[in-house]
Each structure stands twice: as C-alpha cells, then as structure tokens.
Amino acid sequence: MNVSLSFPQTSASPFLHSISTPFSSVPFHSLQKRCRFVTRASSSELPLLPFPIEQVLVPSETKTLHLYEARYLALLEESLFKKKKLFVHFVLDPIAINDTSGEASFAARYGCLVAIEKVEQLEIGALVSIRGIGRVKILKFEQAEPYLTGAVIPLLDNIPHSDTELSSKVLEIKEALRSLNSLEIKLKVPQEALLQTLTANSLRWSKNAPVLDCDNSFIPPFAELVSFAALQPVSGSSESELQKLQKKKLRAMDIKDTLERLEDSIGYVQDNISLVAAKLAIQSLDSRL
C-alpha cells in the first residue's frame, strides 16, 4: 500500500521544518540487532506520525509511505539517526469542540510501533517502507513542533491461554490462509491489483522472531503477531470490502485477548475464502458466455 502524507495544519499537526540531511537507501538488515533484555516495560519518547482513521496499521503489516513535506522528512531524519529507525504510526479521531467554532481537536486512539525497513530517496521526498511491530499506548504528547513526539509504552494482550489452545488456532489460521492464497492465484483481477502475498510475508516475519534495537517488551509474542497477520486486503477487494477490513483492524487493535483475535481473524479469512470462491464461479460462467 502506497500512502502520500500531506495533512492540513491542525492543532495536533507539526509545522513545516527544513531538513538538510540527504536520504539514501537503508536496507532492513542494517537495523536487525538483538533487543536488550528488560524485566519490565518502560516508556520511550518517539516521533508520532498521524494518519486518517481509515488507515489503521496493525502489527506485522507493511506499508509504503511517500513523505515529501518538510515536517515529515524531519520526523524521518529523527527516526533514522536518533531513534533506532523506530516511530509510532497512529490514527487521528476527530472530536468536535463545539457546533459554532467549526474547529476540531484530535485524540489518538490507536498506535502501532513501526520499524523502518527501507528508505529510497526521490527527487521530491522519499519512499519509506515500514513494518508494524506492536501496539503502544500514548501516555502524553511531548512536543508539537516541528513534528509530534510522545511518551509511549507497550500494549500487549493480558488474558493468558494455554500453549495448546493458541497453537491450535495459529495452525488453523495458517491453513485457512493457504487455502485463500490457492484460490486467489486463480482469480483474474485488474493488473494493478495487489496479489495476496501480504499475509504470507507477515507470517514469515512473525515466525522469524523480529529482532530490533529496542525494549523487547514492545514486541508481541508469536501468537499475538499471527492474530493480526490475516487482517490485510485480498486480491481485487472492492471499496466496501476494504472499509469492512478497516473496521476489523480497529476492533483487532482494541482486543486484549489473543485467542479472541485469532478466532475473529479465522472468521475473516473464511469469509474471504467464500467471497473469492464466488468471484471465481462468476468468472467461470462469464468465460463460457
């Protein structure tokens, strides 16, 4: 998914800031270091990058951003060279102050710690590939200029389950995703539509135990990461299907029970299997006419 960032100025948006440091391609392997061991979660001050509420990012998911405004390039510079290639992706939830002023404030509802996997310099701005690591709670905003920063702590599932329960559901969702992928390969979609390789990429990344130069309490356990991996678009998704996915992602970010989220994700994949199978049947009929 490619996203260009250019938000209107609001009370929660940082102001423009010039940047002089040039950007070059930064491969992911350069940020793969072992997290230091910690016994308890501690807060970290990180840059915060705001998005509209329909652009939720979940752990294990990837996204490509086109950053070109000076304030966001300044945020990128800070993340690359001072914050160990980390920042927080969060959505803005507009809350009206009153009916007469026409103004609005913004509240952070969901946050996802992200790692910068690659940066490609462009003639205007930069393409930035990011990966969701884990959910965070924003304790407070530290600054607004030239870009937002805040104190964050990890937000992990807190309902314990047996390894057997979780392993069974993880296996079930992996098998369901394989079935979905095999159907999607047969589906004829517009050339520009994404192929369903996103979930496979997320599953591989989750299995390989992400290692970053950070507080390891920010990295969720494997089962929790897998519970988010299925929440990505399938080939040829319509606008209404993408909107349904956003609601699923919002709910998933709010759930504190890994097993419940795994079950929700399995249901989502099974619905998509039925949907893609129906599309294949229609295509087969059309080809015979």
pLDDT of residue 80: 94
CA separation, residue 276 to residues 164, 203, 268 (Å): 31, 21, 12
pLDDT of residue 81: 92
pLDDT string in tens for the chain (289-residue length): 555 554 433 333 332 222 322 233 333 333 333 333 333 567 889 999 999 988 999 999 999 999 999 999 999 999 999 999 999 999 987 765 555 555 556 777 779 999 999 999 999 999 999 999 999 999 989 989 999 999 999 999 989 999 999 999 999 999 999 898 888 878 776 554 555 568 888 888 998 866 777 778 899 999 999 999 999 888 778 889 899 999 999 999 999 999 999 999 999 999 999 998 998 888 878 766 6
- The identity of residue 155, as a single letter, is L
pTM over 0.85: no
* CA dist., res. 152 & res. 211, Å (int): 19
pLDDT of residue 248: 93
pLDDT of residue 279: 86
DSSP 39-77: SS---EEEEEEEEETT----TT-EEEEEE-SHHHHHHHH
C-alpha atoms less than 13 angstroms from C-alpha of 148 in its C-beta half-sphere: 25
